[in-house]
Amino acid sequence: MTALLDVKSVSKEFSSGGILSREKVKAVVDVSFTLRDDTPEIFTIIGESGSGKTTLARMILGLEVPTNGDILFDNQGARERRGRAARLAFMKRVQPVFQNPFEAFNPLKQVDRYLVSTARALLGATTEDEIDKAMDDALQKVGLSLAEIKGRYAHELSGGQLQRVAIARALIPNPALLIADEPVSMVDASLRMSIVNLLRDLRDTYGVSVIYITHDLATAYYISDRLIIMQRGHVVEMGPARAVLEAPEHPYSQLLRASILSVDDAGMGNLKPADRTLAEAAWNDTGTGQLVERPDGRMVRRAIVSSPFTADA
Amino acid sequence: MIMTTMQTDDVLTVKGLKAYYKMGYFGIEREVRAVDDVTMSIRRNEIYGIAGESSSGKTSLIKTFAAAIRPPLQIVGGSMTYRFGDKIIDPYAATKAQVDAIRWKNMSYIMQGSMSVLNPVRKIRRAFRDFALRPMGLNERQFWLAVSQHLERLNLPERVLNSYPHELSGGMRQRVTIALATVCRPQFIIADEPTTALDVVVQKDVLAMIRDVQREIGSSVVFVTHDMSVHANIADRIGIVYAGRLVEEGPTRTLFTAPRHPYTAHLVASLPRIGDLSKKPSLDGRPPNLADPPKGCRFHPRCPMAVAKCATEVPPMETIGPDHRSACWRADEVRPLTTLGKPQEARV
Amino acid sequence: MFVIIRDLIRFNIEFAIGLILVGIVVFFACLSAFSPVDPSMIYVAPPDQPPSWDYWFGTNSRGQDMFWQLSFAFRNTLLFGLTVAVISRMISITIGLLSGYLGGPVDRVLMFFNDIFVALPIFPILVLFYFVMRNDLNTVNLAILMACLGWAYDARLIRSVALGLRYREFTRHAVFSGMSSPKIMFQEHLPYVMPIIFSTAMANMIWAIGLEVTLAVLGFTNINIPTVGTTLYWANNHSAMVVGVWWWLVIPVILIVMTFIGLFLLAVSLNEYIDPRSRLRRMGL
């Protein structure tokens, strides 16, 4: 096995405040994980606002430079990708899907211009026919066709359609990895599942790995293979998605799980707040301890003082 | 004669309400039918959830309820009547002074962005004074006593009064706006996506707070959000809005377990749930453009059950069960597309 | 484009008035192409004739037919204003978009120079150039010089728009579509600053013409080239008002006021129009 993406003890600090009171904000602290290149998977990063999940995604995309640690993609770090040619080669393999499909397309321009540009710059298509074929192939993968899209403006399509066009655009260079940052949070409820199902199909049919970033545990459970749960920059729990979400072990994961509004309880008025002691434990211990491996393959952050016995308690 | 007793129990009665945006810029005239022929009533002491997608007209609907519409949005037809105790008022027929007199005292709002209510350069104390002092009709001393009692009931520390909005977290700010909206103990509260911007953990607490304060003062809350899982847990009754029209209305549990409109059935079935790995359906097409909505039932182009009649005739909103109304020609044939899991516990 | 102008004339009275005013002046300036007289010649007509059927705008004390003289003057002045506006727009677009999109050190360096140009006292510099260049300071040279001095404020305006666009998702989307920086700046971002460019172009023309008139009236330009400014200079030189040749001053002033009001109305109405129209279009209405 070789690693497709190797995130090695990555941290990111931002300094904020004025000249006199510089404060360091730790957005991401010591995060490590690996995606294999032989098994496509949906890898989910779960976190609330301020958890550092978006910063992590931006670092993987090369939009931010890690303060510490390294992110290797195809065994190559961001520092080695200097110059336009290297960046284009990287974009050929890793593509983003954006949060707000209405924002991802210039409202003054036709949507297919992004597809044409991608086919030309990243796939190396030169003739009109090659470009059209590349666009049509990618659009077919997401259940659209070039005839439906050509010459259309963003406002003529629904959020769901636009998000599918955006995903088709990302698929044109046949990337190995898609990074989707909250790809459905701005899509209407009736169209949301079409995007989520599409991500699943991409993995199953076309072997594309997806890093799915979300705050929504239910969709994460629905599509992901593995996940990490982040709390203020730290990974608190990491492992197989279903096992972790069905029985979370870290107090913060348990808190998140307990805070989901269950549809099964519809009409029961069940708004009993999550256990406070749990919540306080989760917030007080932020970032302490280290990830400990559990028998079922997951990693859970545990206090350093704990002996192997208490770790299993 | 059941009708009359029902009516006295209603805080808001809306009949055939139509509110359209009428716009004209440089020769382009447009009419957007944001609220089209809505008939419904909000009862005393209930939380009525309004669910709908973006640009389904749900925001226009509550603006109309709040008597806060401005051109280009205007009332085109229908009636709207509030009943506060023995006071009956139609805000669109009443004078401005009469409408101002019910604002905040009888009717208040919890907004989406708490920052739009709270002035960022003024302390919270000032907001309470500006919004609530006059409607409550108390002297300063009694007023601040009432405010601090109210905050105590809501488990908010009294020191928030001396904070600036930016010193509070998002969840705390939203709690303050809820306290502000309920301090006069109004009979009618409009909550517009009050928890959409909040994180999941805080969201549940804020929802619980809204529900508790509503039960405590026995007011009616119109709760608007696109998030069906929020409705599932807070609303007593839900109205589903699609393309400017009310398409289904019923008790929450009924809508989730036995929806009678294909759109509702789809919305419920598409919600992913932990512990359920079945493939979730998705709906094709796009929500219609309200400037040029489809003829007949507005859902018919996307409806898996559509028949010829749906494309030509608008289905009326008909009662199909206790408290349950649906606007679908084939309402009798609609079956739930999913079965919910066992609820964890009954209502407290 | 044609439809836009037709709609504007039909639905925006300011635009219609502005267009008529500017149209009259432009038409008048275009007549210079058919002039039977050479504007540099003097004493070709009886001097000091009031407006009449033979001489519509009268003649001046230097024996020139004011109608044709002013036609040349307005041609030169309008061309001058247009040249300044076009060149300075090109500079401010380039600087503004580069600075806003690239950001970082590029932005800091460009804005450092930008701020210097904003702060420069333009009038004394122009006077200095006049003393150095004297009669080499013809209309073209003056236009280039003023364009080089008149871009800075608008560049900052364009930069602020570009800065906002840089963080929009569609910019990042364009980057990951393999578009190059120039393509993003001039194809994705330029349409957003076009409204600013149109309206500031009008304002810039007004500024340039006003400054040219001021310089010329004081004699700090080549006074042998007929412009609105030099016309006023000669009128003043011959004490036109004192000797009662009022038409020498009043007619050019009326025409230049028409030009200014016309340009101003065009700038305002275009601005007003572009905003709601584009909003409507984006709403899909």
Where do the domains of chain C lie?
2-283
Helix (H) or strand (E) holding A168: helix A159-171
More confident call, C218 vs B71:
C218
Task: Check which CATH number belongs to the domain holding A33 and give it.
Answer: 3.40.50.300
- Mean pLDDT over B184-194 rounds to 91
Q: Nearest C-alpha of chain A: how many angstroms from C102?
A: 14
Residue B163 has pLDDT above 80, yes or no: yes
Model confidence at B245, pLDDT cuts 50, 70, 90, reads very high
C12–chain B Cβ distance below 8 A for any pair: yes
For A214, the token pair is 């979300």
Query: What ipTM is given for this predicted complex?
Result: 0.85
Q: Which residues of A touch B273 (CB under 8 A)?
A: 218, 221, 262-264
Residue range(s) defining the domain that contains residue A278: 3-312
Of A304-313, B76-85, C257-266, least confident by mean pLDDT is A304-313
- Model confidence over A219-261: pLDDT tens digits? 999 999 999 999 989 999 999 999 999 999 988 898 899 888 8
> Residue A136: what are its φ and ψ, rounded to 5°?
-65, -40
- Please give the pLDDT value at position A312: 43
Please tell me the distance from the alpha carbon of residue C109 to that of residue C98, in angstroms, as a whole number: 11
CA distance A44 to A224: 6
- Per-residue pLDDT, B346: 44
Per-residue model confidence (pLDDT) at position B348:
39
The answer to which of A146-150, A264-268, B218-222, C96-100 has the lowest mean pLDDT is A264-268
Counted across chains B and C, CB pairs separated by less than 8 A come out at: 24
Mean pLDDT, to the nearest integer, of A133-153? 89
* Fold of domain C2-283: MetI-like fold (1.10.3720)
Chain C residues with CB-CB distance to A109 below 8 A: 187-188, 191
pLDDT of residue B238 exceeding 60, the answer is yes
**pTM (two decimals):** 0.84
Chain B nearest-CA residue for A143:
B284
DSSP state letter for C31: G
User: Which of chain C's residues have a Cβ under 8 Å away from the Cβ of A98?
Assistant: 169, 172-173
| Residue C270 sits at the chain B interface (C-beta within 8 Å) | no
Distance of residue A103 Cα from the nearest chain B Cα, in angstroms: 15
CATH code of the region B44-66+94-235: 3.40.50.300
* Residue C98 structure tokens: 């580069």
Contacts of C185 (CB under 8 A, 6+ apart): C97, C98, C101, C162
pLDDT of residue A132: 93
N residues, chain A? 313
Greatest pairwise CA separation for chain C in angstroms: 73
Q: What average pLDDT does the segment A174-188 reach? A: 89
> What local confidence, expressed as pLDDT, does residue B8 receive?
60
CA distance C4 to chain B (A): 9
Q: What residues have CB less than 8 Å from A230, skipping those under 6 apart?
A: A31, A45, A46, A47, A51, A52, A53, A56, A236
DSSP C77-143: HHHHHHHHHHHHHHHHHHHHHHHHHH-HHHHHHHHHHHHHHHHS-HHHHHHHHHHHHGGG--HHHHH
B312: helix, strand or coil: coil
Rounded to whole angstroms, the Cα distance separating C169 from C86 reads: 31
The pLDDT, as a whole number, for residue C27 is 95
Beta bridge partners of A293: A299
Mean pLDDT of the B263-275 span: 90
Domain total of chain A? 1
Q: How far apart are CA A266 and CA B49, in angstroms?
A: 12
Closest partner residue to A263 (CB to CB) among B200, B229, B282 is B229
The CA distance from B28 to the nearest CA of chain C, in Å, is 9
Q: What is the DSSP letter of C47?
A: T
- pLDDT tens, N- to C-terminus, chain C (285 residues): 677 777 777 777 888 999 999 999 999 999 998 888 888 888 888 888 888 888 888 888 888 888 999 999 999 999 999 999 999 999 999 999 999 999 889 999 999 999 999 999 999 999 999 889 887 888 888 999 999 999 999 999 999 989 989 988 899 999 999 999 999 999 989 888 887 888 889 889 999 999 999 999 888 888 888 999 999 999 888 888 888 888 898 999 999 999 999 998 888 887 776 665 555 454 443
What's the confidence (pLDDT) of residue A29? 92
Alpha-carbon span C205 to C224, nearest angstrom: 22
The four Cα atoms C128, C133, C136, C138 give a dihedral, to 10 degrees, of: -10
Q: Which of B180, B263, B196, B257 minimizes the C-alpha distance to B230? A: B196
CB nearest to C174's CB, from A99, A114, A166: A114
Contacting residues for C281 by C-beta, under 8 A, at least 6 apart? A155
| Residue type (1 letter), A201 | D
Single out the residue of C253, C256, C169 nearest to residue A106, CA to CA: C169
Whole-angstrom distance, CA of residue C55 vs CA of residue C93: 45
The residue among B280, B294, B304, B312 whose CA lies nearest residue B242 is: B294
Using only C-alpha atoms, chain C has a radius of gyration, in whole angstroms, of 22
